[in-house]
Structures are given as structure tokens and as C-alpha cells.
Amino acid sequence: MSKSFSTITLETDDKGITTVTINRPKKLNALNDEVLNELADVFKDIQIDEAINAIIVKGAGDKAFVAGADIKELRELDNRSGRMASQKGQQIFQLIEDTRKPVIAAVNGYALGGGAELAMACHLRIAGENAVFGLPEVGLGLIPGYGGTQRLPGLIGKARALEMILTGKQIKAEEAHQLGLVNEVSSDPVKASKELLHNILKNGPLAVRNAIKAVYHSDHRSGYQVEADVFGELCETEDSMEGTSAFLEKRKPEFKGK
Ligand code: COA
């Protein structure tokens, strides 16, 4: 792939494994609109680039994989634009999940909100020892809007997913491993991802692609519509304005249930 991007760097090794690095470390790699647009372009290219066999997604630096959707941008959303933003994030993450080449999230540091949702849209997840996962949106007066309400129950079961989504609590790598949210914990998640991909890529490429297709085949896409509708409605509430403002002003939110 010869294009260059301003918030994403790409590197392909001699085995055709492309590492996609989200590169906004000063904002803990938060997903603003530019990052999302570039991620979409990158994955559209990856689908058709025959030199690419597999993908690793990671964040720049050790502190964060991705600390979520960009809260500054979330604060500006109303019902309509909020629903559209949710649908846009869902579509881009669906594009990642629909990639018929193995995609592994190598997670160092914080994978919160949209970051956890991005990791969940990847086919496999390897966590660094310092990884932290969580869906803290309720603390902002919102809900996960990029597929988290749909993918987390599928990965760890409804009861545990609801507990994480309703409390917004953060869990460390080991607990994420015990819950089945991540496949492995490693001191070097990129190296471990490459090793796992080497094992996968020894197998028949058509078999690998079709196995991914079969595992993800589902007729139950309507939950995503509900997620986007509710996300949009919440964007217009006093609570989400208070939650996002409180984060940016570095204070505790005072919710009123309005
Ligand atoms: N959106 C926008 N900016 C973000 C962000 C996000 N999701 N997460 C972090 N940042 C920014 C901070 O505002 C800060 O910017 P500043 O230096 O201009 O003030 C910078 O990234 C560093 O973050 P900071 O909060 O100072 O780091 P920390 O080590 O004290 O805390 C976290 C790290 C991850 C606990 C904290 O940043 C956090 O709670 N982030 C939001 C997580 C979240 O709610 N995500 C879901 C969004 S849907």
C-alpha cells in the first residue's frame, strides 16, 4: 500500500503481515473523525491488496491502545448526528470484522470505549501485561456506540457484558483473559501476534478466509440499529452534555437523569 496517512502508520513485513498503528499518542490515540476516516481507507485497501496476508492493529506508544472515541467531538453531537456517528463507527468496525484475512488487536495500555470496541471488532486479541479494558460510556451519560453492546455479550456472555457496560468498570489483562475477552496475555503483544499469525498462515489461505466468514455469519444485525438509535437519543440529553463536559473540565459529573 503506497498511500500515506496522518493519524495512522503502516508497515508490512516479508510475510505480508501489515501492522496498522493508530498514531495520536498525545490524545492516547483517541478516535476522532480523521482517525476513523483513515481506518476506513486503510481497511478498504487491505481487502484488495494481494500482498497483505494478515493484519495487526495497535496504538502508538505503551500507554494506550486507544482511549476511546474523541470525547471533545462527542460533546458536539445531537440526536441525528449522534446516530449517524454511531452508524459510521459501526460500519468502519464492521469493515474490519468483515476482512477475510486474520486481524489481531495487539493491546498495550488503555483500550477503553471505542478502543475496546475496536479491539473487539478484530478477530483475535492479544493483551500486553499493562492492558486495561473497559466500556466507560455510561460515566459520560452515553452507551457504547461502535458495536460494543453487540460484540461484548458475544465474547464474554450477557451477564458479564452487562456488568461491564452498566458499571463502566475497567479490568486488567489477566481478568480480560479469564473472561475470554482476550486470547492471550504477553509481555510483547506485537511479537506474540506475529507468532500466532505465522501459525495461522501456514494453513490453506482459502480455508482460513472461509473459516472467518463462517464464524461471523449472522442474521442478527438489528441490535446494531438499536444501539445507534439509543446512542443518538442520549447525545441530546443534559446527562451526556454534563458527562462529556466533566471529563474535559477534569471534574466529576453530576447527573440529573434528564
Ligand atoms: N477523547 C479525547 N481526549 C482524550 C480521550 C478521549 N477518549 N482520552 C484521553 N484524552 C486526552 C486527555 O483529554 C488528555 O488531553 P490533554 O493532555 O490535552 O488534557 C490526554 O488525552 C491524556 O489523557 P489524561 O486523561 O491526561 O491521561 P491520564 O493518564 O490521567 O488518564 C485515562 C488516562 C485513559 C484514564 C483517561 O484519559 C480517560 O479516562 N480517558 C477517557 C476514557 C473514556 O471515557 N473513553 C470512552 C470514550 S467513548
Q: What are phi and psi of 180, to 5 degrees?
A: 90, 10
* Any atom of ligand 1 within 6 Å of the Cβ of 117: no
* Contact predicate 87/235, CB 8 Å: no
CA distance 217 to 214: 5
67 lines ligand 1 (CB under 6 A): yes
- Residues of the chain scoring pLDDT < 50: none
Helices 79-97, 114-121: axis angle to 10 degrees equals: 30
Query: Is the distance from the beta carbon of residue 28 to the nearest atom of ligand 1 less than 6 Å?
Result: yes
Ligand 1 centroid to Cα of residue 67, in Å, is: 6
CB of 58 closer than 8 Å to CB of 52: no
- In this prediction, residue 48 carries a pLDDT of 95
> In a 3-state reduction of DSSP, which class is residue 171?
strand
Output the CA 10–ligand 1 centroid distance in Å: 24
The minimum-distance atom of ligand 1 relative to the CA of 27 is 21
Return the number of other C-beta atoms located less than 10 Å from residue 19's C-beta.
19
Q: What is the pLDDT of residues 52-89, one digit of tens each?
A: 999 999 999 999 999 999 999 999 999 999 999 999 99
Active-site residue list? 117, 137
pLDDT of residue 219: 59
182-199 residue pLDDT tens: 999 999 999 999 999 999
Task: Give the separation between CA 73 and CA 63, rounded to whole angstroms.
Answer: 22
| pTM across the whole model | 0.93
Give residues with Cβ within 8 angstroms of 46, minimum separation 6: 1, 18, 52, 55, 99, 101
Which residues touch 222 (CB under 8 Å, ≥6 apart)? none
Q: Where are the beta strands (DSSP E) in 115-254?
A: 124-128, 132-134, 170-172, 184-186
Cell numbers for 33: 473523525
Nearest-angstrom CA–CA distance, 11 and 194: 13
Residue 135: closest CA among 68, 202, 88, 62: 68
